């Protein structure tokens, strides 16, 4: 099958214009991805019209979907669950940052049944391809991810004042969560997309041990991922600078999404 955009640029719409979306908009407008063109930014109030500072139309969901070949979600887990299925139902490609959306069965079904296709960004981490290979090899076990970030990035509305205080004033690293990738996303929706990504790579979020650590001295967000299979052992550590506009988000994420768009725009001879 050839892509419908092969004789023209890949038309991209952003769903979300925050820390990740702003970098995407700026880089796409600057021509950072050859063969891709930013045609719209979808916001909650986009139906009222307007444009970004760079002149990109700000639109509502339906107009954005109609204008685009690919919608890039960089909004939230809730937005991905609520709005993503319309992108898929319209036959468009949806590139998802909020991978945790797939942890809810009904949303997962609606996001993966087509006719559009769902692509997942590697986002803040790496090694998902190697984990997938280990899964194919068989005997996968001891899959774990430990995410360490500054305490303020892990504070959640559901925490009681004592929990919030304990995290915010800790003098040493504190384990804020220990459980599985299936359980963590609704508790830490902005920080656990990577855990669900590991869960999807190994085929079972419930089999992934997740630790969320608040470190008062953390200047970067660190993800340590490990696994064992019949083909060997896997260890991967990434140390991400925070996004200057949102310290809870890693600076790397928009660049992972740009890499995915580059692969879509010029699919030949790239890592998949
Ligand atoms: N996969 C990964 O590694 C990874 C890493 C970081 C963040 N994320 C995901 O990306 C999301 C965005 O991250 P960010 O740092 O840019 O967050 P952000 O809060 O800086 O920006 C989110 C933007 O989306 C907009 N938005 C939210 N709901 C919307 C809706 N229903 N319709 C239209 N716009 C909506 C907000 O107004 C905001 O402008 C996070 O919530 C998280 O789920 C994934």
Closest ligand 1 atom to residue 16 Cα is 24
Contact between residue 22 and residue 43 where contact means Cβ atoms under 8 Å apart: no
Mean pLDDT of the chain: 94
How distant, in Å, are the alpha carbons of 57, 58, 188, 226 from that of 185? 32, 30, 5, 19
Write the CB contacts of 26 (distance below 8 Å, at least 6 apart in sequence): 54
Task: Give the number of other CB atoms < 10 A from CB of residue 71.
Answer: 29
pLDDT band at 267 (very low <50, low <70, confident <90, very high): confident
Eight-class DSSP state of 78: H
Give the catalytic positions in this structure. 223
User: What's phi and psi for 204, nearest 5 deg?
Assistant: -160, 95
Least confident of 40-49, 64-73, 102-111: 40-49
Taken in order of first residue, the domains within the chain and their CATH numbers are 10-123+252-265 (3.40.50.720), 128-242 (3.30.360.10)
Q: Is the dihedral of CA 193, 199, 200, 205 positive or negative?
A: negative
Contact 198, 125 (CB under 8 A): yes
Q: Report which protein residue has its CA nearest ligand 1's atom 6.
A: 249
CA of 215 to the centre of ligand 1 (A): 23
The per-residue pLDDT for 5 is 59
Whose C-alpha lies nearest to ligand 1, atom 39? 18
**Spatial distance between the Cα atoms of 182 and 199, rounded to a whole number of angstroms:** 8
* 216 Cα to the center of ligand 1, angstroms: 24
Pocket-testing residue among 65, 76, 78, ligand 1, by greatest number of atoms within 8 A of Cβ: 76
pLDDT in tens, 142-195: 999 999 999 988 999 999 999 999 999 999 999 999 999 999 999 999 999 999
- Angstrom CA distances, 201 to 95, 107, 135, 165, 207, stand at 16, 18, 8, 35, 11
Q: What percent of the chain is predicted at pLDDT more than 90? A: 88
CA 101 to ligand 1 center in whole angstroms: 12
The confidence band for 3, taking pLDDT boundaries of 50, 70 and 90, is low
pLDDT at 45: 86
Query: Who lines ligand 1 at CB under 6 A?
Result: 15-21, 42-44, 74-77, 79, 83, 97-99, 121, 123-124, 190, 193-194, 243, 246, 249-250, 253
pLDDT tens-digit series, residues 216-248: 999 999 999 999 999 999 999 999 999 998 888
Q: What per-residue confidence (pLDDT) applies to 2?
A: 45
Pocket probe for ligand 1: among 15, 18, 200, the residue whose CB has the most ligand atoms within 8 Å is: 18
* Residue minimizing CA distance to atom 33 of ligand 1: 43
3-state secondary structure of 227: strand
> Can you tell me the mean pLDDT for 80-87?
98
Q: Whose CA is nearest to atom 27 of ligand 1?
A: 75
């Amino acid at each position: 099958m050839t892509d419908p955009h092969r004789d023209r640029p890949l038309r991209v719409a952003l769903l979300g214009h925050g820390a990740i979306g702003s970098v995407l908009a700026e880089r796409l407008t600057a021509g950072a991805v050859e063969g891709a063109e930013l045609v719209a930014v979808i916001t909650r109030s986009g139906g009222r019209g307007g444009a970004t500072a760079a002149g990109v139309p700000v639109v509502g969901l339906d107009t954005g979907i109609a204008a685009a070949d690919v919608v890039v979600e960089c909004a939230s887990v809730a937005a991905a669950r609520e709005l993503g299925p319309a992108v898929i139902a319209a036959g468009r490609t949806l590139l998802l940052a909020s991978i945790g959306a797939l942890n809810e069965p009904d949303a997962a079904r609606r996001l993966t049944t087509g006719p559009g296709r769902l692509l997942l960004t590697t986002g803040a981490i790496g090694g998902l391809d190697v984990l997938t290979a280990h899964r194919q090899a068989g005997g996968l076990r001891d899959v774990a991810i430990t995410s360490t970030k500054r305490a303020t990035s892990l504070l959640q509305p559901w925490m009681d004042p004592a929990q919030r205080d304990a995290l915010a004033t800790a003098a040493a690293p504190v384990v804020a969560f220990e459980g599985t990738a299936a359980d963590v996303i609704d508790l830490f929706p902005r920080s656990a997309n990577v855990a669900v990504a590991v869960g999807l790579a190994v085929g079972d979020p419930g089999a992934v041990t997740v630790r969320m650590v608040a470190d008062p001295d953390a200047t970067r967000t660190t993800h340590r991922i490990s696994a064992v299979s019949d083909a060997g052992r896997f260890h991967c550590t990434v140390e991400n600078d925070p996004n200057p506009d949102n310290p809870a988000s890693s600076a790397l994420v928009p660049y992972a999404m740009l890499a995915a768009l580059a692969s879509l725009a010029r699919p030949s001879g790239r890592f998949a």
